C-alpha cells in the first residue's frame, strides 16, 4: 500500500483522473438509480462551471495568480444582457433615432436578442482588460499572493456592480421592479429527457464548453501568443529577456478570461432568468477546487473534475433531496489530493509565501524612547485609548454598544488571521468557519449540556484548534495558494452541513443565554462589551508574546525564506502546526462569544461571505502588526453600520486603494505620522536617528551643521582623526606615511 501511494505521488494527475472516474461509478451505488435526464442535467450544470475553470487556468498560466474574480467577470455583462432584452432597449433606441417606426417585426426582435448577447460578451472582454490594466498589472512585480488578494476585492466590486444597485438600476430594476422573469432565446428548441426538460441555452452551454476547451488548447499549443503565455508563467524575467511582452500577453489572457466568463453568465441568464448572472461562493469554490485537484495546470483534467462535482451534486439532490453534501465531498477530495501530491515549494514564479504588505511596524528608536517628550506622548496616547474604550458604553447608544462588541469579536478573528497570513504567509479565506465551529460547540456544550461559559469557550477553542490543524495540514506539504481554497471549502461545509437542520443543526438549541462569570451577569450590552474587551486584551497580550518568542521569529523567517530558515534548524512543521492551532483557537473563541451575543447559532448569523469580509478587514488594517486587525475591525464596523447594503462594495474598494497606495494598510499611514512626529522631536533635540532620517525629507544634518573633517598630523608624521570623530575609548590611528609620500600625493 505504501508503495502504491509513493508511486501515485509521482503521477498525481493519473490519480486525479482515476478517483474522479471512481466517483462517477460510485454515483451508481446511490439508493435511487440516476435517470438519464439527471445525468444530462449534471452535464449542463457542469458546463457553466467548466467555462469558469477555463478562465481560471488561463489566468494562472499567465501570471500565477489564482483568480477569485473569474465567475464575476461576466456578471456585469449578464445583468446588462438581461436589462437590454427585457426592456427592448436596442429597439427603443432605434425607434428614437428613426431607424424603425411602429411595431418591430419578429425577425428584428430576434436580431435584438443576438445583438444584445454579442454586446454583453464584448463588454465582458472590456471588463477583463480593465481589471488587468487598472489593478492586476500594477502588481506585476509583487508576489502572486498580492494579486490574488486583489482579485478577491475586485470580485466584491463587480458583484455589487452587477446587482440591483449597479447595472440593473439603470433599467429600473430594484425594490419597485424586482428582477424576475426569463429571457428565452428566439429559437424555441425544447426536448425532454425524463425527468428533465432542456432548452436551447442548456444545449449551447455544453457546446460552448467543448468549443472553448478545444479553442484554448489550440491557442496555448499552436500559437505564438499561447507559447508566450506559457513562457511568462514559467519564468517572467527570462521571457522578457527573450523579447516576450508580458504586459500584452497578460492583457490578451484577461480579455479571453472575460469573454469566457461573459458567455457563461449570458447562458445562465438565458436559462434561469434575472438575478442569475453571477456565480456565488458555492460555484467559485467548486471551480477553484477543481483547479486545485487538477494541479493548477491541466485544463482538461480540471474540466473533468468539475463535471464530477456536478454529477455528485445532481446525484445527491436526486437521492436525498438536497445537494449540500456535495460541499463536504469537495472539501474531502481537495484534502485527499493535496495530501497525495508530492511535497513542493513555491518556485521563483510562484513566490506565494512572501508579501511586502506584511512588513512590521518599526518600534520607537532607542535613542528617543527615553526622552521626556516621547514618554509624555506615549502616556497620553495610552491613557486616551484606555479611557475611550472604558467610557464608550456609557456615552454610546445600546445599538452602538452592540456594534462595538461585534467589532471586538471581529478583531479577535482578525488576530487569528494575522498569525496565518501576516506571519506565516498563508491565505485563509474561510477563517470565520472556525468561528462557526466555536459557536456550534458553545451552543451544544453550553446551551444543551449546561457547561459553564469558561469551560464551553475552552472546549470551543480546542475543537477549533483541531479543525484548523486538519484543514491546514496539506499546506505543510504543498506550498502556495491551496489553503485559500481549502479554507473556503471548509467555510461552505460549516455553513451548509454543520448548521444544516438535517445534519448538525439538529443538536443546536433554539436559544442560548448569556453567561454569568464570577457572579456577574452579562445580560446587558454594557457588561458583555467589557467581557469581550477583556478577552481581546488577553488575546493581544498572547499574540504579542508569541511574536516575541522563538516561534514568532521562526514563522517570519519561514515566510520570507523557508529554505534558509530550515537550513538554520527551524522546524517548519512544528512552527506552522502551532500557528494553525493557535489561530483556530482564537477564531473559535471569537465564534463562541458571537454565539452568546446573538443568543444562538443560525446560518444567517454565520454566513460564508463573512469570512471574506474579515479577510479584507485585516488587509485594510495591515498585516504587519497587532494594530492592523484592531484598526481594521473598527473601520469595517463603521462601514457596515453607516453604509448598510453597500458596505461590501466600499470595503472592497478600500482594499484596492490600500493595496495600490499603502500595502502596509492603515497602520502604515498611522505609524508614518508617528514617525514624522518622532523625526521632529529628534531634530529639536539635535539627535541623529538614521532609521527616521532615511525616511524623512528633512535630515538632521541639514539642521545641525558639523565642523568639516580636517587632517590631524602629529609631530612624528602620523595622520590621525580629529578628537571629535574618534570612537569612544578607542584611539583610531591611520597608517603612517612619510612627508615625501604626502608630497607626492
721: cell is 582623526
Average pLDDT over residues 26-53: 79
**Which has the minimum average pLDDT: 28-32, 599-603, 648-652?**
28-32
User: Residue 743 has what pLDDT?
Assistant: 44
pLDDT over 90 percentage in the chain: 24
pLDDT at 103: 66
Considering the domain 2-340 in this protein, what is its CATH number?
1.10.3470
Element (H or E) spanning 517, and its range? strand 516-517
Check: CB of residue 233 under 8 Å from CB of residue 63: yes
| 532 contacts 595 by C-beta, under 8 angstroms | no
CB neighbourhood size of 524 (10 A): 13
Please identify which residue in the block is written with the cell numbers 429559437: 187
Contacts of 643 (CB under 8 A, 6+ apart): 650
Instruction: Give residue-wise pLDDT tens across range 546-555.
Output: 988 888 888 8
pLDDT tens-digit profile of 163-205?
A: 877 888 787 776 667 777 778 787 778 888 888 888 888 888 8
Q: Name all contacts of 247-250 with Cβ < 8 Å and 24+ positions apart.
A: 247/137, 247/140, 249/62, 249/225, 250/62, 250/63, 250/132, 250/136, 250/137, 250/140
First to last CA, the chain: 80
Mean pLDDT in the chain?
81
Task: Give 298-338 pLDDT, tens digit per residue.
Answer: 788 888 888 888 888 888 888 777 778 888 888 888 888 78
Q: Where are the domains of the chain?
A: 2-340, 396-664, 712-744
Lowest mean per-residue pLDDT among 345-354, 484-493, 712-721: 345-354
At residue 192, φ and ψ (nearest 5 deg) are: -125, 130
* Cα 566 to Cα 583: distance, rounded to the nearest angstrom: 22
pLDDT of residue 737: 39
pLDDT of residue 629: 92
Q: Output 237 or 528, whichever has higher pLDDT.
A: 528
- Is there a shared CATH topology between the 2-340 domain and the 396-664 domain? yes
Global pTM reads: 0.85
Kindly give, in sequence order, each residue whose CB lies less than 8 Å from that of residue 719, ignoring residues fewer than 6 positions away.
711, 712, 713, 734, 735, 736, 737
Instruction: Give 454-473 pLDDT, tens digit per residue.
Output: 999 999 999 999 999 999 88
Average pLDDT of span 584-611: 91
Hey, what's the cell of 440? 456550534
Residue 380 — very low, low, confident or very high, per pLDDT cuts 50/70/90? Answer: very high
Task: List Cβ neighbours of 433 (8 Å cut-off, separation of 6 or more).
Answer: 487, 490, 491, 493, 494, 495, 608, 611
Q: What is the rounded average pLDDT of the residues 631-658?
A: 87
Q: Are 739 and 719 in contact (CB under 8 A)?
A: no
So what's the pLDDT on residue 717?
A: 54
Query: Cell for 244?
Result: 516576450
Arithmetic mean of pLDDT, 613-627 = 89
Q: How far is 69 from 66, CA to CA, in rounded Å?
A: 9
602 burial via Cβ count (<10 Å: 0-12, 13-18, 19+): middle
Cis peptide before 532 (omega within 30 of 0): no
pLDDT at 634: 92
**pLDDT computed for residue 742 by the predictor:** 43
pLDDT at 510: 85
Q: How much is the pLDDT for 128?
A: 94
Sign (positive or negative) of CA dihedral 297, 298, 300, 305 = negative
Average pLDDT over residues 657-678: 86
Q: Kindly tell me if the per-residue pLDDT of 129 is higher than 90.
A: yes
**C-beta neighbour count of 361 within 10 angstroms:** 18
| DSSP sequence for 201-236 | HHHHHHHHHHHHHHHHHHHHHHSHHHHHHHHHHH-H
More confident residue, 346 or 180: 180
Question: What per-residue confidence (pLDDT) applies to 311?
Answer: 86
Instruction: Kindly give the interhelix angle for 432-441 and 398-417, rounded to the nearest 10 degrees.
Output: 110
Q: Residue 340: pLDDT above 50?
A: yes
Q: Which of 146, 116, 153, 162 is nearest to 131 (CA)?
A: 153
Say if CB 569 and CB 416 are below 8 A apart. no
Looking at residue 730, its pLDDT comes to 44
Mean per-residue pLDDT, 219-234: 79
Express each pLDDT in 69-117 by its tens digit.
998 898 888 888 988 888 888 888 888 877 776 666 778 888 888 899 9
pLDDT tens digits for range 407-454: 999 999 999 999 988 888 888 888 999 999 999 999 999 988 888 899
**Does 2 have pLDDT greater than 80?**
no
Q: What is the CATH number of domain 396-664?
A: 1.10.3470
Amino acid at each position: 500500500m505504501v508503495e502504491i501511494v509513493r508511486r501515485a505521488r509521482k503521477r498525481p494527475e493519473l490519480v486525479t483522473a482515476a478517483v474522479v472516474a471512481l466517483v462517477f461509478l460510485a454515483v451508481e451505488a446511490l439508493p435511487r438509480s440516476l435517470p438519464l435526464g439527471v445525468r444530462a442535467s449534471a452535464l449542463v450544470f457542469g458546463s457553466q462551471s467548466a467555462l469558469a475553470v477555463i478562465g481560471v487556468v488561463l489566468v494562472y498560466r499567465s501570471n500565477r495568480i489564482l483568480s477569485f474574480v473569474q465567475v464575476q467577470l461576466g456578471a456585469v455583462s449578464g445583468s446588462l444582457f438581461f436589462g437590454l432584452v427585457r426592456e427592448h432597449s436596442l429597439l427603443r433606441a432605434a425607434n428614437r433615432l428613426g431607424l424603425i417606426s411602429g411595431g418591430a417585426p419578429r425577425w428584428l426582435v430576434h436580431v435584438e436578442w443576438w445583438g444584445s448577447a454579442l454586446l454583453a460578451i464584448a463588454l465582458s472582454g472590456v471588463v477583463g482588460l480593465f481589471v488587468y490594466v487598472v489593478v492586476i498589472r500594477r502588481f506585476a512585480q509583487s508576489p502572486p499572493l498580492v494579486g490574488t488578494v486583489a482579485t478577491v476585492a475586485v470580485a466584491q466590486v463587480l458583484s455589487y456592480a452587477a446587482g440591483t444597485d449597479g447595472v440593473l438600476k439603470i433599467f429600473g430594476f430594484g425594490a419597485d421592479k424586482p428582477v424576475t422573469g426569463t429571457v428565452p432565446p428566439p429559437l424555441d428548441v425544447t426536448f425532454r429527457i425524463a425527468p428533465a426538460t432542456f432548452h436551447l441555452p442548456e444545449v449551447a452551454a455544453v457546446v460552448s464548453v467543448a468549443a472553448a476547451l478545444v479553442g484554448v488548447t489550440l491557442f496555448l499549443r499552436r500559437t505564438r501568443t499561447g507559447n508566450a503565455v506559457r513562457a511568462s508563467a514559467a519564468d517572467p524575467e527570462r521571457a522578457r529577456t527573450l523579447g516576450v511582452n508580458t504586459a500584452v500577453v497578460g492583457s490578451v489572457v484577461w480579455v479571453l478570461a472575460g469573454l469566457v466568463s461573459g458567455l457563461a453568465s449570458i447562458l445562465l441568464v438565458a436559462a434561469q432568468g434575472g438575478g442569475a448572472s453571477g456565480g456565488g461562493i458555492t460555484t467559485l469554490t467548486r471551480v477553484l477546487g477543481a483547479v486545485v485537484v487538477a494541479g493548477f495546470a491541466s485544463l482538461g483534467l480540471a474540466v473533468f473534475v468539475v463535471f464530477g462535482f456536478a454529477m455528485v451534486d445532481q446525484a445527491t439532490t436526486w437521492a436525498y433531496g438536497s445537494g449540500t453534501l456535495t460541499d463536504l465531498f469537495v472539501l474531502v477530495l481537495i484534502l485527499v489530493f493535496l495530501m497525495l501530491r508530492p511535497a513542493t515549494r513555491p518556485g521563483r514564479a510562484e513566490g506565494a509565501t512572501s508579501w511586502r504588505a506584511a512588513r512590521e511596524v518599526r518600534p520607537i528608536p532607542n535613542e528617543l524612547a527615553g526622552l521626556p517628550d516621547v514618554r509624555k506622548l506615549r502616556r497620553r496616547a495610552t491613557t486616551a485609548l484606555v479611557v475611550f474604550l472604558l467610557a464608550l458604553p456609557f456615552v454610546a447608544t445600546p445599538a452602538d454598544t452592540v456594534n462595538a462588541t461585534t467589532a471586538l469579536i471581529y478583531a479577535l478573528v482578525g488576530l487569528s488571521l494575522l498569525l496565518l497570513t501576516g506571519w506565516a504567509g498563508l491565505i485563509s479565506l474561510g477563517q470565520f468557519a472556525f468561528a462557526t465551529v466555536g459557536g456550534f460547540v458553545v451552543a451544544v456544550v453550553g446551551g444543551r449540556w449546561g457547561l459553564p461559559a469558561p469551560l464551553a469557550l475552552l472546549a470551543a477553542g480546542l475543537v477549533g484548534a483541531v479543525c484548523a490543524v486538519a484543514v491546514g495540514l496539506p499546506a505543510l506539504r504543498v506550498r502556495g495558494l491551496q489553503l485559500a481554497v481549502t479554507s473556503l471549502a471548509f467555510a461552505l461545509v460549516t455553513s451548509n452541513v454543520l448548521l444544516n437542520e438535517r445534519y448538525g443543526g439538529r443538536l443546536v438549541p433554539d436559544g442560548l443565554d448569556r453567561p454569568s462569570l464570577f457572579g456577574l451577569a452579562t445580560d446587558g450590552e454594557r457588561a458583555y462589551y467589557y467581557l469581550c474587551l477583556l478577552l481581546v486584551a488577553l488575546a493581544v497580550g498572547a499574540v504579542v508574546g508569541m511574536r516575541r518568542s522563538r516561534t514568532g521569529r521562526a514563522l517570519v523567517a519561514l515566510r520570507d525564506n523557508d529554505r534558509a530558515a530550515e537550513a538554520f534548524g527551524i522546524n517548519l512543521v512544528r512552527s506552522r502546526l502551532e500557528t494553525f492551532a493557535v489561530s483556530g483557537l482564537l477564531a473559535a473563541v471569537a465564534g463562541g462569544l458571537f454565539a452568546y451575543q446573538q443568543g444562538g447559532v443560525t446560518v444567517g448569523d454565520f454566513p460564508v461571505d463573512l469570512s471574506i469580509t474579515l479577510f479584507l478587514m485585516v488587509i485594510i488594517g495591515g498585516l504587519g502588526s497587532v494594530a492592523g486587525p484592531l484598526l481594521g475591525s473598527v473601520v469595517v464596523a463603521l462601514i457596515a453600520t453607516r453604509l448598510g447594503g453597500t458596505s461590501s462594495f466600499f470595503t472592497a474598494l478600500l482594499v484596492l486603494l490600500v493595496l495600490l497606495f499603502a500595502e502596509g494598510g492603515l497602520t502604515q499611514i498611522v505609524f508614518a505620522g508617528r514617525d514624522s512626529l518622532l523625526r521632529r522631536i529628534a531634530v529639536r533635540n539635535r539627535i541623529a536617528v538614521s532609521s527616521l532620517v532615511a525616511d524623512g525629507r528633512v535630515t538632521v544634518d541639514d539642521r545641525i551643521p558639523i565642523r568639516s573633517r580636517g587632517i590631524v598630523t602629529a609631530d612624528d608624521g602620523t595622520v590621525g582623526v580629529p578628537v571629535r570623530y574618534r570612537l569612544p575609548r578607542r584611539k583610531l590611528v591611520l597608517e603612517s606615511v612619510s612627508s615625501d609620500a604626502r608630497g607626492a600625493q
